[in-house]
Amino acid sequence: MDGSSGRDGGERLVVAQVRGLRGLRGAVRVESLTDRPEKRFAPGRLLFVEGAVEPLTIAEAGPDGPGWRLRFEEIADRSAAEALREAYLEAVVAADDRPAEGEFYWHEIVGAAVVDHDGRALGRVTDVYRAGGAEVALVSGDTGELDVPLVKAVVRSLDLSKGEMVVDAEALGLRDGAGEPAEAP
């Protein structure tokens, strides 16, 4: 997730990825990567192709199956929209537009140390992605990579100020019910 600065001094964060084209008037179908699509994709809002300087102005938006359909004022037709295929779209997020209590932006946990409830180091978060309806942290450490679902049953605590996530090793299948390391398959 990009943490670059936006035009108005806010931070630019990835909020969608273009997955396909929709119709002849340049609309695109996006996968939403935000918990606030109604706000982020409202007509008149600006989005940026990742790394681009010039914004795209949302002309029309609406839910479209599992994603959203967006049409931009600057994109006149389907052939112009083709250049957006698979691009990540960013929104400027003001410093005072923080997630609700208990929520976080993905980039805030990348780099966090991951330990089990006994303090055993499992690695660091190197990426975050969606799988189905859940968000998953990719943790890389000395023993390889581990996918950690970001759900209460697995993540026992997350302290952004310390950069630390405590996980339940048993829920991840890393320990058996007696607290012993799980057998390798």
Is the domain covering 11-93 a CATH 3.90.1150.10 domain? no
Domain spanning 106-167, CATH class:
mainly beta
Nearest to 50 by CA among 65, 23, 69, 30: 30
pLDDT tens-place values along the chain, 185 residues long: 344 444 455 788 889 999 999 989 999 999 998 878 998 999 999 999 998 999 999 999 999 988 899 999 999 999 999 999 999 999 998 766 666 677 777 778 889 999 998 899 999 999 888 777 778 999 999 878 999 998 889 999 998 889 899 999 898 888 755 555 555 44
- Spatial strand order of the sheet with 113-116 comes to 144-149, 134-141, 121-131, 113-116, 164-167, 155-159
Question: pTM for this one?
Answer: 0.64
The ranges assigned to domains in the chain are 11-93, 106-167
